[in-house]
Amino acid sequence: MKNFLQMELIERRDLTEDLAVFRFRPEQPVEFIPGQYMTIGIEKEGKKILRPYSILSSPLDPEVELLIELVPQGQLTPFLWTLKPGDRLWYRPRILGKLVLQEDSNRNHHLMVATVTGVAPYLSIIRTFHYQLQRRESVTPPRICILHGASYTRELGFLAEEMQRYDQQYDWFTYVPTISRPSENPDWQGEIGRVEDVLRKWADTLGFTADKTIAYACGHPGMIQNVKEILQRARFERQQIKEERYFTIPRAKGGTDASSAAGRA
């Protein structure tokens, strides 16, 4: 495919049967800013099927990781689940996306809100700071809080464990996982509810006030809409809230929005 290169699947690490981290070795090193996304795809019956995915890995990782949810009726993701290590996919070497850390602002608090896979761009940012600090590079990370929502704990899995380690290690970082369906996890000690249910509480508790904070919302469009409304009531201005919607929700009959942030993404 013109303007595309190939990358090889190294490994798929499953969180659930329909949620996994795919690790690829690209033909050429991929240059990107943490928070950006890459476009990957296939050619099927002469037709290109291309989809964007936030990059979960850091630019300092040797390979590229993507956190992907299977959409059973989708065109690309069912195919991704058939891939075996060694199989190849196309990727566009030109990396895009604006959900990157807004470092040049006067606001040095960053409130990052995600539904399941929407955590990928944020983890890329945190991992990059972690590697830079390990290498003793002179970086001063700003104050960052990730609020990560899922239905079940298994959707958080080893990614939550990684972020919990950073939370324990660094004063500048707070990780708050929350699950909306706790009945399957009676031992769960963390937050219960959708991510937007706990947003205001954590923003207030940690002092992420509108005068010093940039907010980010990534993943499910229903969640993003709710987060924007909640933060605007907390005096955030529209331009202080960055967003990346992973898909759009079809309008229900009668013109109402069929959104529900209970879903994944």
Ligand X SMILES: Cc1cc2nc3c(=O)[nH]c(=O)nc-3n(C[C@H](O)[C@H](O)[C@H](O)COP(=O)(O)OP(=O)(O)OC[C@H]3O[C@@H](n4cnc5c(N)ncnc54)[C@H](O)[C@@H]3O)c2cc1C
Give the range of 68-76, 102-110, 149-157, 226-234 binding ligand X by CB under 6 A. Answer: 68-76
Q: Could you tell me which residues come within 8 angstroms of residue 81 by beta carbon, excluding any fewer than 6 positions away? A: 20, 70
Q: Which is nearer to ligand X, 33 or 210 (CB)?
A: 33
Is residue 71 at the binding interface for ligand X, with CB under 6 A as the rule?
yes
State the amino acid at position 117 in one-letter form. Answer: T
Which helix (H) or strand (E) segment holds residue 162: the answer is: helix 157-169
Among 4, 22, 24, 37, the residue binding ligand X under the rule CB under 6 A is: 37
- CB–CB of 57/124 below 8 Å? yes
CB of 26 to ligand X, least distance (A): 16
> CA 65 to CA 28: how far, in whole Å?
15
Q: Which is nearer to ligand X, 196 or 243 (CB)?
A: 243
Q: Which is nearer to ligand X, 44 or 235 (CB)?
A: 44
Is residue 144 at the binding interface for ligand X, with CB under 6 A as the rule?
no
Give the range of 7-15, 64-72, 131-139, 222-230 binding ligand X by CB under 6 A. Answer: 64-72
Which helix (H) or strand (E) segment holds residue 192: the answer is: strand 191-192
State the amino acid at position 64 in one-letter form. Answer: V
Is residue 75 at the binding interface for ligand X, with CB under 6 A as the rule?
yes
Q: Which is nearer to ligand X, 10 or 71 (CB)?
A: 71
Is residue 16 at the binding interface for ligand X, with CB under 6 A as the rule?
no
Q: Which is nearer to ligand X, 141 or 221 (CB)?
A: 221
Is residue 240 at the binding interface for ligand X, with CB under 6 A as the rule?
no
Q: Which is nearer to ligand X, 52 or 193 (CB)?
A: 52
State the amino acid at position 12 in one-letter form. Answer: R
> CA 149 to CA 193: how far, in whole Å?
8
Burial profile 70-97: b = 16 or more Cβ within 10 angstroms, e = fewer = eeeeeebbeebeebeeeeebbbbbebeb
Site residues (vs ligand X, CB under 6 A): 37, 51-54, 66-69, 71, 73-77, 117, 120, 244, 246-248, 263-265
